[in-house]
Structure 1
Amino acid sequence: MDEDPYLVGPNVSPLEKKNLFNFGHVIGRGSSFNSGNGLNGMNGIPGSPSTAPDCTLLKKYGLCEKGNIGQGATAVVRLAHKLTLPTSEDEEVSEKLFAIKEFRKRRKHETEKEYVKKLMSEFCISSTLHHENVVETVDLVQDEQHHWCEVMEYCCNGDLYNAIKQGHMSRVEVNCCFKQLINGVAYLHSMGVAHRDIKPENLLLDGQGRLKITDFGVSDVFRMCWEKEPHLSKGLCGSEPYIAPEEFNGKEYDARCVDIWACGIVYYCMVYQGIPFRAAISQDPNFQHFLEMRAVNNYEPFEKLPIGCRILMKQILDPNPETRITIEDILKDEWFQRIEICVHGENQNPHRHF
C-alpha cells in the first residue's frame, strides 16, 4: 500500500468511454488544446495541443520542483509553485501550489489516438467534478518536454493511509473522515460516476482537514445525464483488499455497489489499522472466516463497534451486492446522520485532524 494517491493504479487501463462528456465544456474550462483544430475526427478527442508559449506548464502554473512527491507505474507527481507578483505597494508576493501529475509517455504499441483517449478519459471525468470532498482538477497541459500533465489542487496533509499508519486517529476523527468519504462518493454517484478504486491512498487531506477523493484513472460513467437507468460495469480494477467480491466473478456488476463495499473496508482500516482480509475470494481463509462469523452475527471486529455503527457496517460489508445498502440509505441512517463533521479541522467535540 505504498502507491502515491495521485497515480493511476499500475497495470490497469481506464475503460474507453464513448463520447462521455461534452468536450467543448471541458475545453472551455481552460485546458490547453488548440480548439481551432476541432475534434479532429477522433470521436470526441480534441485536436493537437496548442504550442503557444503561454500554454505551457511553466508559463501557466509556475516552476516545478525537481524531485517527485509521488511516483508510480504510469505517472509521477511533482509540486509546482506559482508566484503572483504584487500589483501595488501594499501587496506582497503570493504563492499557490499545484500538484502536477505527469503521465507516462506513449507506449510503442499504442497509437496516438489510443494514448490520448486514455488521458482524456480520466481528465474529462475528474475535471467535471466539483465538490468539497473531491480533489479539484484544474487543467491538462503539456510541459516544456511535451509530456502531458494534469494539474490538480495540492492537498498538503498527505493521504489517509499515512494518517492511519501513524495510529493516532480518535474514533470521533475516524467517523468524521468516514462521513466526508460517504458524502464525496454520494456526489460522484449523483453525477453518474463510480470511482472503482476507493482506498486510503486515494483519499487526501487538505490543510483544513477536509478529506478529498482523487485518482479517477479506473472510474466508470455508469449513467449519462440524459439516461434514467444505470448500466453495469465490467473488469477487475482497483486494489485487491478493497475490491468487492462480485468483481472477482468475472461478470458485469453495479459499480456503485463496489464503491460502497470499499468505503466499508476503509472504515475498518481506520478503526483497526489494518485490512480484514487480503482479498474477498473463497481462497482467502480470513474472508471465509468473515463470511462464517458474519452469518451468525459473531464477527468480532463488528461486535466491538457501537450498536448503530455495527448495524451499518454489516449492511455496507454485505457480500451480496443485491442486498448491500445503497448510498442513499447510508445517508438516511440514524447513526450516520449523528456523525459530526469538523469545520476547518475542528468541531464541538473538539478534534483536529492529524
Structure 2
Amino acid sequence: MSTAKVKRCVGKYELGRTIGEGTFAKVRFARNSKTGDAVAIKILDKEKVLKNKMVEQIKREIATMKLIKHPNVVRLYEVMGSKTKIFLVLEFVKGGELFDKIVNHGRLREDEARKYFQQLINAVDYCHSRGVYHRDLKPENLLLDENGNLKVSDFGLSALSLQVRADGLLHTTCGTPNYVAPEVLNDKGYDGTTSDLWSCGVILFVLLAGYLPFEDDNVINLYKKISDAEFSCPAWLSSDAKRLIKRILDPNPITRITIPELLEDAWFKKGYKPPIFNENCDTNLDDIDAVFKDSEEHHVTEKKEEQPAALNAFDLISMSKGLKLGSLFDREQEFKRETRFSSKSSANEIMSKIEEAAKPLGFEVQKKNYKMRLENMKAGRKGNLNIATEVFQVAPSLHMVEVRKAKGDTLEFHKFYKNLSTSLKDVVWKSEED
C-alpha cells in the first residue's frame, strides 16, 4: 500500500470510522480539524428527502433540535449540505450504549436503574414540551457519557417523516416492535407523548428485570401480548417499582400515567435531582436554509478516501473507554454489536479472508475500497443480518479490523462473529500476553 493517505473530509471535519448505521442514514465519528473536538456526523441522503417532499418538515425538526440544549439529550451543533447529502453534526458521546451495560452485566440495581430512568424522563419531558417526539425509544438509543450520565440520541431525528393529521394524532407505525405502544400498532392514530412514555416503561422494565416484558418469535403473538399488556414483573422487584411499571404499561393511553403524575410517584422521587442547565445561549439557524439551496456557494466540500483510513492516537482514544487503550482490541466479545481485532496481514489479504469465511455462512459480499458489506440472504428474528466491516491502518505493518452489526439481531451477530473468528485464526494477531 502507498504510505500517502487521503482522508475523507466534509468542510472542517475529518471523517473517521462509521459508528452507527440505519435504513436511511449513517453516523460517522469525526473531528474538527481546527479545534480537534470530537463529534458524530449523521449523513442523510438528500435525494430521498426531496423525493418524499419532506424539506420544510425536516427544516422544522432540525431547527427544533438545534434549540434543544438539555444535559440528557445529544446536542445537534450544526447542519451542512453537499449536492447529494445532508450532514448533521452531533455531540459525540464516548461512554457507549446503555444496551451493552445490560447485556454484559445483567439487570441493574433499583437505585442505579432509577437514576437512568429519572434522566430519561427529564429528557423526554423537556422535548415533549417543545413538540418533539422520539417514537423509537429503546436502550440502544440511550448513550452514556464518560461520567455515566444518560444521553438520549436521535430525539426528533429518528422519525423525520413525522406527520400529525387534522385529528391531532400521529399515524405512522414506527419504532422497534418490543418497545412500541399498543395504540401505535392498531393504526388508529396515537399521541406522541403517551406512546413515548410507554416505551420508557418498557425500558424501565428491562433495566430492572434484565429481559423484555413482551417477547415472542411470532409477530402476531407479540402484538397481542403488547395490546393486552400481558406481562408479569419478576419477584425481586420492590412493590413500588412493580406498581409504577403497571401504571406506565397500561394498554389504554387515556388512563396511562402521565409525566406530571410520574414526577410525583414515590418510587420515582427517591433521590431525584431536577436537571440544572442553561438553555438561553444563542443559536444560529441560518445553516438550515443553506443546506437545501442548490447553489455551490452553500455546499461544503467533500474529499473521498482511496486507501484504508489511518488511525492516529486521537482516533484510538475515541474508540476506547476513557484513555484505556488496553480495551481497544476487545478480548470480551460477548453480546457486543461491534467488535475489533488486530492483524499483521495486508489489507487485501484480510479482505479476502473475510470474504472466504462469510460466503459459506450464507452471506452476499459487497466491497468498496477497504470496506465490506455482508448480507445474510436468509432472514433471521429481526430481518436479514447485515454486517459492515472496515480495515484501518494503525501502523505500516499493523491493521485494525472493525466488524459491526448494521442491521438485524444482536445475538445472531454474536453467533456470526464466533464462526468468523474461527475462520480467521491465521489472520488475527495476538500479543505474547494474549
The one-letter code of the counterpart of 1:252 is G
Q: Which runs of 5+ in 2 are unaligned?
A: 1-7, 276-434
Q: What is the RMSD of the two structures over their aligned residues, measured on CA atoms?
A: 3.5
Q: 1:101 to 1:306 in 2, by over 3 A?
A: same
Match of 2:312 in 1: none
Q: 1:210 to 1:300 in 2, by over 3 A?
A: closer
Say if 1:316 and 1:325, in contact at 8 Å, map to a contact too. yes
- Larger mean Cα displacement after TM superposition, 112-121 or 204-213: 112-121
Distance in 2, matches of 1:286 and 1:304, equals 27
The one-letter code of the counterpart of 1:195 is H
Match of 1:159 in 2: 97
Does residue 116 of structure 1 match 2:55? yes
Match of 2:70 in 1: 131
Displacement of 1:172? 2.3
Does residue 322 of structure 1 match 2:254? yes
Displacement of 1:249? 1.4
Displacement of 1:289? 9.5
The one-letter code of the counterpart of 1:273 is G
Match of 2:418 in 1: none
SS at match of 1:78: strand
Say if 1:81 and 1:98, in contact at 8 Å, map to a contact too. yes
Q: 1:98 to 1:288 in 2, by over 3 A?
A: closer
Say if 1:180 and 1:341, in contact at 8 Å, map to a contact too. no
Q: 1:111 to 1:188 in 2, by over 3 A?
A: closer
Distance in 2, matches of 1:137 and 1:148, equals 13
Q: 1:118 to 1:221 in 2, by over 3 A?
A: closer
Say if 1:316 and 1:324, in contact at 8 Å, map to a contact too. yes
SS at match of 2:67: coil
Say if 1:193 and 1:221, in contact at 8 Å, map to a contact too. no
The one-letter code of the counterpart of 2:176 is S
Say if 2:164 and 2:171, in contact at 8 Å, map to a contact too. no
Q: Summarize the alignment of residues 45-124 of structure 1 with structure 2, pairs less than 5 Å apart.
A: 58-60=10-12, 62-65=13-16, 67-84=17-34, 95-107=36-48, 111=50, 114=53, 116-117=55-56, 119-124=58-63
The one-letter code of the counterpart of 2:92 is Y
- The equivalent position to 1:263 in structure 2, one of 200, 205, 210, is 200
Distance in 2, matches of 1:254 and 1:183, equals 19
Match of 1:47 in 2: none
Distance in 2, matches of 1:79 and 1:171, equals 33
The one-letter code of the counterpart of 1:161 is F
Q: 1:222 to 1:212 in 2, by over 3 A?
A: farther
Q: Which runs of 5+ in 1 are unaligned?
A: 1-55, 85-93, 224-229, 344-354
User: Per-residue displacement from partner, 1:176-215 (whole Å, max 9, x unpaired)?
Assistant: 1111001111111222222211111111111221211121
SS at match of 2:37: strand
Does residue 177 of structure 1 match 2:127? no
Distance in 1, matches of 2:55 and 2:226, equals 45
Please identify which structure carries the higher strand content. Answer: 2
User: Per-residue displacement from partner, 1:273-292 (whole Å, max 9, x unpaired)?
Assistant: 3222247x994269549948
Q: 1:292 to 1:326 in 2, by over 3 A?
A: closer
Q: Summarize the alignment of residues 276-291 of structure 1 with structure 2, pairs less than 5 Å apart.
A: 276-278=213-215, 283-284=220-221, 288=225, 291=228
Q: 1:183 to 1:258 in 2, by over 3 A?
A: same
Distance in 1, matches of 2:230 and 2:71, equals 38
Identity across matched positions, percent? 33
Displacement of 1:82? 1.9
Match of 2:149 in 1: 210
Say if 2:47 and 2:84, in contact at 8 Å, map to a contact too. no
Q: 1:222 to 1:312 in 2, by over 3 A?
A: farther
Say if 1:179 and 1:339, in contact at 8 Å, map to a contact too. no
Distance in 2, matches of 1:233 and 1:293, equals 25
SS at match of 1:275: coil
Q: Greater CA radius of gyration, 1 or 2? A: 2
- Superposition TM-score, scaled by structure 2 size: 0.54
SS at match of 2:43: strand
Distance in 1, matches of 2:227 and 2:182, equals 12
The one-letter code of the counterpart of 1:304 is W
Say if 1:222 and 1:255, in contact at 8 Å, map to a contact too. no
Displacement of 1:328? 0.7
Say if 1:276 and 1:287, in contact at 8 Å, map to a contact too. no
Match of 1:244 in 2: 181
- Superposition TM-score, scaled by structure 1 size: 0.65
Displacement of 1:124? 2.6
Distance in 2, matches of 1:57 and 1:126, equals 24
Match of 1:235 in 2: 172
Say if 1:240 and 1:278, in contact at 8 Å, map to a contact too. no
User: Per-residue displacement from partner, 1:82-116 (whole Å, max 9, x unpaired)?
Assistant: 244xxxxxxxxx63100001112514xx7468253
Q: 1:64 to 1:339 in 2, by over 3 A?
A: same
Say if 2:30 and 2:40, in contact at 8 Å, map to a contact too. yes
User: Per-residue displacement from partner, 1:324-352 (whole Å, max 9, x unpaired)?
Assistant: 00011101112111145699xxxxxxxxx
The one-letter code of the counterpart of 1:99 is A
The one-letter code of the counterpart of 1:166 is N
Distance in 2, matches of 1:197 and 1:340, equals 25
Displacement of 1:151? 0.3
Distance in 2, matches of 1:289 and 1:135, equals 29
Distance in 1, matches of 2:55 and 2:222, equals 42
The one-letter code of the counterpart of 2:262 is I
- The equivalent position to 1:273 in structure 2, one of 195, 202, 210, is 210
